[in-house]
Structure 1
């Protein structure tokens, strides 16, 4: 699990998180435990981030990290998604507006990341051809941040 239960204290009070988890888990023996619920929310958050940021960045290494080695920005994005997912089992009017706003902002940021408009402080995704520029679709694998993708050379207007 990328997110730890202690990470949630950044965004939600511990007692509120416990009440939310108990309400979701219920009292039926067949229902998932609070730990299972947190694990499922973490998986949804990690998969969402990996799907969107994994287009340009090597996100798998980051999601495998634990403790203080993790990227704080990615933790923040994962928390926004995970908390929103936890609230999905409650009534719509019980979901705080800031939870919805944080989730929407996070998804918008991740969309920008996937398009190369928003940089992340993560290593770039290695190109599948080991840096060879053989098919015109080369992804530069040096440095951080935005990279130019393309198959055609820049046009010049000289005759």
Structure 2
């Protein structure tokens, strides 16, 4: 079942404009949504359980994930229809979505998303090990 619904788009784009962009081909919209989801997962995968995030349906979905996924999908739809004529607003919103995803990936922003379970739980000595690199100070043996 797709993560986004047609009503999710209504906040950001009028339906008749969306129909022009997708050329009344629902598979084009579906492919743009899949691309947007894959792009978001690539940023979120390291810290969050993306399977849980994108398997939720209805009102339980995270509003920011919906908003930014719609922004990314609309950007890809515009790029598909006329790559050199993407509206400035769509470029700004797409870049804002990417900036938010980068900040989430770095840990600067902590959205209310299910975190990825620790892979090393119950396994002592595995997982989060710290390795320090360096060397001793250089000494000169010249007289």
TM-score under structure 2 length normalisation:
0.82
Question: Deviation of residue 116 (structure 1)?
Answer: 1.1
Alpha-carbon spacing, 1:131–1:11, altered in 2? closer, same or farther (3 Å): farther
Aligned residues: 131
Runs of 5+ unmatched residues, structure 2: 132-143
What is the alpha-carbon distance in structure 2 between the residues aligned to residue 131 and residue 43 of structure 1? 35
Determine which structure has the larger helix proportion and give its number: 2
Runs of 5+ unmatched residues, structure 1: 26-33, 138-149, 153-159
What is the alpha-carbon distance in structure 2 between the residues aligned to residue 68 and residue 109 of structure 1? 22
If asked which structure has higher relative contact order (CA below 8 Å, sep 6+), I would say: 2
What is the alpha-carbon distance in structure 1 between the residues aligned to residue 35 and residue 122 of structure 2? 32
Larger Rg: 2
Question: Deviation of residue 43 (structure 1)?
Answer: 0.6
The answer to whether the Cα contact below 8 Å between 2:52 and 2:114 also exists between their aligned partners in 1 is no
What is the alpha-carbon distance in structure 2 between the residues aligned to residue 107 and residue 129 of structure 1? 30
What is the alpha-carbon distance in structure 1 between the residues aligned to residue 57 and residue 114 of structure 2? 17
Q: Deviations over 1:53-92 (max 9, x none)?
A: 1110112111011221211110011011100000012334
The answer to whether the Cα contact below 8 Å between 2:22 and 2:81 also exists between their aligned partners in 1 is no
What is the alpha-carbon distance in structure 2 between the residues aligned to residue 48 and residue 107 of structure 1? 9
What is the alpha-carbon distance in structure 2 between the residues aligned to residue 40 and residue 133 of structure 1? 43
Equivalence map 1:41-120=2 (5 Å): 41-120=32-111
Task: Say which SS state the counterpart of residue 126 (structure 1) adopts.
Answer: coil
CA-atom RMSD in angstroms? 2.0
What is the alpha-carbon distance in structure 2 between the residues aligned to residue 78 and residue 96 of structure 1? 17
Alpha-carbon spacing, 1:136–1:2, altered in 2? closer, same or farther (3 Å): closer
Runs of 4+ in 1 over 2 A off after TM superposition: 90-94, 130-133
Which residue is 2:112 aligned to? Answer: 121
